[in-house]
Amino acid sequence: MVSKKDIKESYNSLKEEINRHNFLYHNKDNPEISDTEYDKLFLKLLKLENEHNFLDKNGSPSSRVGDTPQSNLKEFIHEVPMLSLDNAFESEDLFEFEKRILNKIKDKNLNYSCEPKIDGVAVSLIYERGILVKAGTRGDGEQGEDITHNVKTIKQIPLKLNGSHHPNKIEIRGEIFCEKNEFDKLNAQYLKSNQKTFANPRNFVAGSIRQLNSEIAAARPLKI
């Protein structure tokens, strides 16, 4: 039988490992492991937390949606927490999700709309009287980074909303991404000119929108 001490040591080591990978992913845009490998570590963490209530969950990655930003960009405070979606790896996870939904609503005749998930970077757009005034990343859900200067270079994002009678303030949340064919084309160009290539489109987007020089972001094929 595994002792409490061994379980605590294994758990604390796992917390440190996942927090390190979070830092590399969210702040350095340089992950060392794949998303699948990360998910396996995270599921192992959740399993330990669910099975052993004596564990100290302070500082656990399970209580965060990202990582605290660390860069030269200004901070962006979310007035309403910007949360993330949970993963579902097994059929049972989906059934549990539906059970939670049915417990909260009266109408049991539900229709579900499903679509592929775009793997990019979540963004919050703040409009005041129809004018884009601020944009920020999710960060840790409470505080992100101000990327207004880069977001304004993305042609799909309107600097001014159409129509009139706009509310004094409105927040719109979405996902900044790069299409796979555009990413592959750009990576091929970097490789040909002996420049460092990007591991995946998500890292490319994250690195692009966190540039201090907006001309770099403007030259890259970003969409929302």
Kindly list the catalytic residues. Answer: 117
Q: Are 173 and 138 in contact (CB under 8 A)?
A: no
Tokens of 64: 């965060």
For 66-84, letters b (16+ CB in 10 Å) and e give bbbbeeebeebebeeebee
Rounded-to-integer distance, Cα 68 and Cα 23, Å: 8
Give the contacts of 127 (CB within 8 A, at least 6 positions apart): 133, 161, 166, 169, 170, 171, 172
